[in-house]
Amino acid sequence: MPAGSAWCQPALLLLLSCVPLRAAEISCRNEDGETVDWFALYKLPKHAKGQIPLLGLEYLYMDALTPQWQLGKYLINMSQGALGQTLQQLYETYESKAKMCVSLQRNTTAYAIYNDEIPESDSKGSKCGHTKGFLLLDKSQGFWVIHSVPLFPPNPEDGYGYPSTGESFGQTAICITFKYDQFTEIDQQMLSYNPGIYSCSIPDIFQADLPNLQKLCAKSRLPSPPLCHLSKLQSAQGETFLHFAKSHLFIDDIYVAWMAQELKTDLLAESWQRSGEKLYSNCSLDYHVYNINTIGMPLNSTFHSINDHSKWAVSRKYKDQWTCIGDLNRAAEQAWRSGGFICTQNEQIYKAFRHLIIHYESCTSA
Ligand SMILES: *[C@@H]1O[C@H](CO)[C@@H](O)[C@H](O)[C@H]1NC(C)=O
Ligand SMILES: *[C@@H]1O[C@H](CO)[C@@H](O)[C@H](O)[C@H]1NC(C)=O
Ligand SMILES: *[C@@H]1O[C@H](CO)[C@@H](O)[C@H](O)[C@H]1NC(C)=O
Ligand SMILES: *[C@@H]1O[C@H](CO)[C@@H](O)[C@H](O)[C@H]1NC(C)=O
């Protein structure tokens, strides 16, 4: 052996020990820890009638490999669930005790976690967007999760957890895996979104491609945002998504004033109706928006929308097939908040959500 190998070898071993962490690509993960192109989940409210036990932690789950609702194998507070498995990739990168691996990965991995209601903080971010989500990527690919749960997820150093405040009501989440180039589009959306980021790392190698996320992460000044911006995104497996982002200066109901008209479809909308001034079903413009008021889950369980904090909408007509999952409620005050929706015409996602609707309010009932 040549001289020098004595100190080289431990270094080499250390490098090799990094390999398992790097082997799998950053991706949405299902409940078995396998990579999936996308998943959607719907946490049930505590107050539902039916056969599913009601801890407020059970959820319906579907993904690209199993594209119809099934009851989650775990409770939403367990790290084995899809949200926990997906976040685990962030914890591995930023928590691992193998310091050398961490510093290598830290320089090549970017993440941001945002919410208008931040864990372990008293302040409600009314200046930032009414948006909740997180993303993790390297220069190859990554994922983006959009969800409705306040105070979630915990700071990465605290590991996985689910807040008790998120138990009572229904909640939705969608995760999509994207190749790296799509994150420059997502970065553009962040300009209108103005998310309340509470944990992040956007290393310098991302500066050119993710300038807005980097500024948001550094809490430095952003360029002035477009009123609203529509982005066409493609998942790693080629599924098309449309992302609507509105800034706080687009002062209108995103469902009626923009999404329904842009998608040219009547929408049935499910959103939190308990705070602020409720907006009724609206048939004023070409395409109408109706408020859903009763949801029926598989396994014969039903609940009223008043117990639902999730935010989603589907085409009223089956032929249109749009599903949108996002950030904003149909409440008058939300016109002044930034946020958005991610929409798809994936047939299975549409069927899964559309079939949940038992009743919606006609326009005349207002
Ligand atoms: C999840 O919540 C249930 C019900 O409150 C509790 O019994 C269980 O210990 C929790 N699990 C975790 C991992 O927090
Ligand atoms: C990682 O970043 C640190 C400082 O940000 C730098 O000193 C170090 O050389 C970088 N490591 C690699 C492998 O790029
Ligand atoms: C319906 O929504 C549009 C766009 O927000 C609004 O201008 C209009 O006043 C609403 N109509 C009713 C009857 O609320
Ligand atoms: C569904 O629930 C309703 C009311 O709780 C009950 O009357 C009905 O028998 C149930 N149906 C099935 C198939 O379990």
Q: Is residue 265 part of a domain?
A: yes
Q: Is residue 348 part of a domain?
A: yes
For the chain, report the end-to-end CA distance as a whole number of angstroms.
84
- CA nearest ligand 4 atom 5, residue: 50
Q: Please report the pLDDT score of residue 123 as a whole number.
A: 66
Q: Please report the pLDDT score of residue 6 as a whole number.
A: 40
Q: For residue 110, what are the β-bridge partners?
A: 137
* Per-residue pLDDT tens digits for 63-120: 999 999 999 999 999 999 999 999 999 998 876 545 555 566 678 999 999 999 988 7
Ligand 1 pocket, residue 164 CB under 6 Å: no
Question: What atom in ligand 2 is closest to the CA of residue 106?
Answer: 1
Q: Is residue 90 part of a domain?
A: yes
Provide the token pair at 336. Answer: 């002044």
What amino acid is encoded at 276 in this protein? G
From 248, 309, 355, 359, the catalytic residue: 309
At 103, give phi and psi (nearest 5°): -70, -35
What average pLDDT does the segment 208-220 reach?
97
Average pLDDT of the residues of the chain: 90
- CA nearest ligand 1 atom 3, residue: 77
Percent of the chain, pLDDT > 70? 88
Taking the CA of 204 as reference, the closest ligand is 2
Provide the token pair at 140. Answer: 């190859």
Provide the token pair at 348. Answer: 């299975």
Taking 80 as the threshold, does the pLDDT of residue 321 lie above it?
Answer: yes
Ligand 4 midpoint to CA 67 (Å): 25
Ligand 1 midpoint to CA 80 (Å): 12
Taking 60 as the threshold, does the pLDDT of residue 365 lie above it?
Answer: no
CB 122 within 8 A of CB 110: no
At 330, give phi and psi (nearest 5°): -85, 80
Taking the CA of 205 as reference, the closest ligand is 2
Taking the CA of 104 as reference, the closest ligand is 2
Taking 60 as the threshold, does the pLDDT of residue 147 lie above it?
Answer: yes
Return the number of other C-beta atoms located less than 10 Å from residue 108's C-beta. Answer: 15
Taking the CA of 256 as reference, the closest ligand is 3
Beta strands per DSSP E along 59-170: 59-63, 70-71, 109-114, 133-138, 141-147
Ligand 1 midpoint to CA 77 (Å): 6
Provide the token pair at 356. Answer: 């949940």
**CA dist., res. 191 & res. 208, Å (int):** 15
Percent of the chain, pLDDT > 90? 80
**Secondary structure tally for the chain: helices H, strands E:** 7, 19
Q: Is residue 29 part of a domain?
A: no
Ligand 2 midpoint to CA 103 (Å): 7
Taking 50 as the threshold, does the pLDDT of residue 25 lie above it?
Answer: yes
Taking 60 as the threshold, does the pLDDT of residue 16 lie above it?
Answer: no
Q: Is residue 31 part of a domain?
A: no
Taking 80 as the threshold, does the pLDDT of residue 11 lie above it?
Answer: no
Q: Please report the pLDDT score of residue 242 as a whole number.
A: 98
Q: Please report the pLDDT score of residue 1 as a whole number.
A: 39
Q: Is residue 244 part of a domain?
A: yes
Which of 228, 246, 253 best tests ligand 3's pocket when mutated (most atoms within 8 Å of CB)?
253
Q: Is residue 28 part of a domain?
A: no
Which domain does 76 fall in, by range?
Answer: 38-99+106-360
* Pocket of ligand 2, beta carbon within 6 A: 103-104, 107
pTM over 0.75: yes
Q: Please report the pLDDT score of residue 126 as a whole number.
A: 65
Q: How many domains does the chain have?
A: 1
Residues in CB range of 353: below 8 A, 6 or more apart: 312, 314, 323
Ligand 3 midpoint to CA 341 (Å): 20
What average pLDDT does the segment 272-284 reach?
92
- CA nearest ligand 1 atom 6, residue: 77
**CA dist., res. 41 & res. 55, Å (int):** 16
Indicate the DSSP class of residue 208: T
Taking 70 as the threshold, does the pLDDT of residue 338 lie above it?
Answer: yes
CB 233 within 8 A of CB 185: yes
Question: What atom in ligand 1 is closest to the CA of residue 79?
Answer: 13
7 — pLDDT class (breaks 50, 70, 90): very low
Based on the residue annotation, tell me whether 355 is a catalytic residue of this protein: no
At 316, give phi and psi (nearest 5°): -70, -45
Ligand 2 midpoint to CA 88 (Å): 23
Give 311-360 as a 3 state SS string: CEEEECCCCCCCEEEECCCCEHHHHHCCEEEEEECCHHHHHHHHCCEEEE
